Structure 1
Amino acid sequence: MLNIQTVVADLHNPQHAQAYLSLMSHYACDPMGGGEDLSDFAKENLITNLLARNDVFIVLIFSDEHPAALLTAIEGFSTFACKPLFNIHDVVVHNDFRGQGLTKHLFEKIEEVAKQQDCCKITLEVLSGNAIACKAYQRLGFSDYQLDPEFGSALFWTKKL
């Protein structure tokens, strides 16, 4: 059994900042993260830019001081509920720690923080071909979004600028 520590990251802490960058780089190199490392620009500026925001919440898991997993949540706002929400933007479990149940720990911690922030919901995007992640998220209570089945599920679209 792993000896883990789950924390809300403080990117002013050099250990947390380095763990975040290391895990994000690991994720970016994975096919589910695009298959190519973070750009030099991102590596040099990501921590500074995240620290300039007050709407980003990061959960880190360490196993015996080794970065094992992370979750990045960005606060949004639900106009219908008139409350904040969290959108999960990144979920990373290092290859060395997969299959150990760390995703569940990440989501338990971010749900705790979301409740403290009075969020009405947590949203996320997942690639339809990422069967392992889809199954994990379904076990955690996530599903596609529908108002009325007649109109289908919501789609996540993007336009790069």
Structure 2
Amino acid sequence: MHTIIDYNDTAHRRQVIALWETVFGYEDSHNKPGLAIDKKLAAPDGLFFVAVADDTVIGTVLAGYDGHRGWLYAVAVHPEHRQQGLGKALVRYAEQALTARGCLKINLQIIAGNASMASFYEALGYELEPRVSMGKKVVENLPPT
């Protein structure tokens, strides 16, 4: 059994970093888990949630809202807890938090070719949109590699 709660840096940081390293295997310095957590905590909006079972973090969802669109980031479920509905529960929890803030549309990105994740989100009502995702790293804000 799990519970989804607000992220607490003191209680959850170490476990979230380990989970994200396991699930995502980040390689770029701008995606380092500790940095991502620090940046989110610097913009506190109440949209960072963890799923816990017996005080162990087994899933996360980090969301964002700009006043118009919402975003889902870092939806992660520990491999030992997959296929039990936890990913869906995390997404729905974040959707409810965004909806309560008046969000009009929720976006997310997945890596091209990740068919299993595309299928997961499609089953939750997300649709592939004809968009080109572009990004630019702000070099002066990146940590040294």
Settle same-fold status: TM greater than 0.5: yes
Q: Percent identity?
A: 23
Report the counterpart of residue 128 of structure 2 in structure 1: 144
Pair 1:129–1:56, CA change in 2 (3 A) = farther
Structure number with larger C-alpha Rg = 1
Using the alignment, how far apart are the partners of 2:33 and 2:70 within structure 1? 24
- TM-score, with structure 1 as normaliser: 0.73
Partner of 1:24: 20
- Aligned with 2:48: secondary structure? strand
- Give the aligned length: 137
Seen in structure 2, the aligned counterparts of structure 1 residues 130 and 50 have a Cα distance that, compared at 3 Å, is same
Which residue of structure 1 lines up, in the alignment, with residue 132 of structure 2?
Answer: 155
Q: Which amino acid aligns with 1:63?
A: A
Distance 1:70 1:18 in 2: 13
Q: CA RMSD in A?
A: 2.3
User: What is the correspondence of 1:1-161 to structure 2 with a 5 Å cutoff?
Assistant: 3-11=1-9, 14-29=10-25, 34=26, 36=27, 42=32, 45-55=35-45, 57-77=47-67, 84-145=68-129, 153-161=130-138
Question: Per-residue CA shift, 1:24-70, capped at 9, x if unaligned?
Answer: 222332xxxx4x4x86x946544433221134611211122221111
Alpha-carbon separation, structure 1, partners of 2:137 and 2:38: 23
Structure 2: segments with no counterpart, 5+ residues = 139-145
Paired residues of 1:93 and 1:103 also in contact (CA < 8 A)? yes
Q: 1:109 aligns to what SS in structure 2?
A: helix
Higher relative contact order at CA 8 Å, sep ≥6: structure 1 or structure 2? 2
